[in-house]
Amino acid sequence: MYDKIKLMLYDLPTGYDWQTVLQRTVVKDYFANGTGGKGYWLGRRVIATETYVSFEGSLPKCLWGHNLKTLSLQQVKWLIMKLSKDLGVPMYKAVVESAEFAHNFSMTEPPIMYMQKLDAMKAFRPNGWSGTKYMDNGEVRCKFYDKIQETKKKRELPKYGRENLLRYEVTFSTKGLSRLFGRDIVAEELWSKQVFWTLVAEWFGYYEDMVKLPNDCWDADYRIFESAKDFAKWCICIANADQNLSYYVKHVLFKLQANPQPSDRVLHGQIQKKIQEALEWGKKHLTLPNLTLELTGKIEQYLAWLLEQSADRMGIAEERRIFNTAVNPLLIQIRLGNHQRE
């Protein structure tokens, strides 16, 4: 579930030389002041200066060139230790300045339809930029977007996996990680189960806290429109959701009109008929499945697999030993939810 991370190594080893470190990368350029430079390691950015070495990039992309798949903890360890060996400095001792936790979910409908059902939790600022749903509190950012569209833009899409992929990311800043663990964490802790499963529980907990919006008339599929007349009926249904059209037309527009004419009654009757026809049409065509239930089910199924079957799985006894406390209630919920489905 780890994706993009940023590491900062300030505790440099004896005999450290930033030029030597940089030469171990694909050098991009040197700083004008002569104190450092930038290069790339497995396509991800490395900066070496007189006072620090940094790495920033997606760990899955280091291996596969895309992040449609997620890494096991052993793969995370192997990559960071390889980074340390290749650069010649202990990047496994670097402070984690940010960590992105994410997974891609294959959905039955386009991702935008699920994003429309989610709203920010308390103390988070919501944003919707370019078809992406953001929720941010300055320490943690939650993000949903169409993964296939994003990979197409970046030209990272492999030959497989072209279905409806909804990506859910949580990015923890330095402050967010410090608040969660009570201190800075270093890179070699990323593959510890204590850190990993703490982040898993937070990732799931943020989703649980999000406001889930009910279905409404906007949850429409283009295939319901057999003609332009159906589109007009859909528009009436949307307007009726915010205002009782039948009542408004009769008691406001019709009764309060200036200079009424006998023919107005005929027109009023025709309008009322159109409204009723549209609402009947809506009952048949706007009853879509609850998309929030589908998304929640997908997340819970994935977490149950991660907890009980993956290479990074963790039993109840192991959890108690690792955390030296009672079992995490969110993890209990995942286990119970999985058993109920079985």
Between 6-15, 156-165, 235-244, 263-272, the lowest mean confidence (pLDDT) is in 156-165
- What pLDDT shows up at residue 50? 95
Output the pLDDT for position 291. 85
The tens digit of pLDDT for each residue in 98-129 reads 999 999 999 998 898 899 888 878 788 887 66
Work out the pLDDT band at 341, boundaries 50, 70, 90: very low
Q: Decide if pLDDT at 155 tops 70.
A: no
Per-residue model confidence (pLDDT) at position 52:
97
Residue 342 binned pLDDT confidence (cut-offs 50, 70, 90): very low
| Mean pLDDT score of the chain | 87
CB 41 within 8 A of CB 23: no
Phi, psi of 140 (to 5 degrees): -135, 140
Residue 18 above 70 pLDDT?
yes
Up-side HSE of residue 84: CA atoms within 13 Å toward CB? Answer: 18
- Give the pLDDT mean for 233-259: 84
Integer Rg of the chain from CA = 27
Residue 291 and residue 175: Cα distance in Å, rounded? 33
Tokens 């510890």 sit on residue: 192
Q: Which residue has the higher pLDDT, 5 or 155?
A: 5
CB atoms within 10 A of CB 286: 21
Cβ neighbourhood burial of 309 (10 Å; 0-12, 13-18, 19+): exposed
Angle among Cα 198, 203, 208 to the nearest 5 degrees reads 120
**What is the reported pLDDT for 131?**
75
Q: Inform me whether the pLDDT recorded for 202 exceeds 90.
A: yes
Return the pLDDT at 279.
87
**pLDDT category, 54, cuts 50, 70, 90?**
very high
- What are 22-34's pLDDT values in tens digits? 999 999 999 988 8
Comparison of pLDDT for 279 and 50, the residue scoring more: 50
Does pTM surpass 0.85? Answer: no
Q: What are phi and psi of 291, to 5 degrees?
A: -70, -30
User: Is pLDDT above 70 for 214?
Assistant: no
Q: How many residues does the chain have?
A: 342
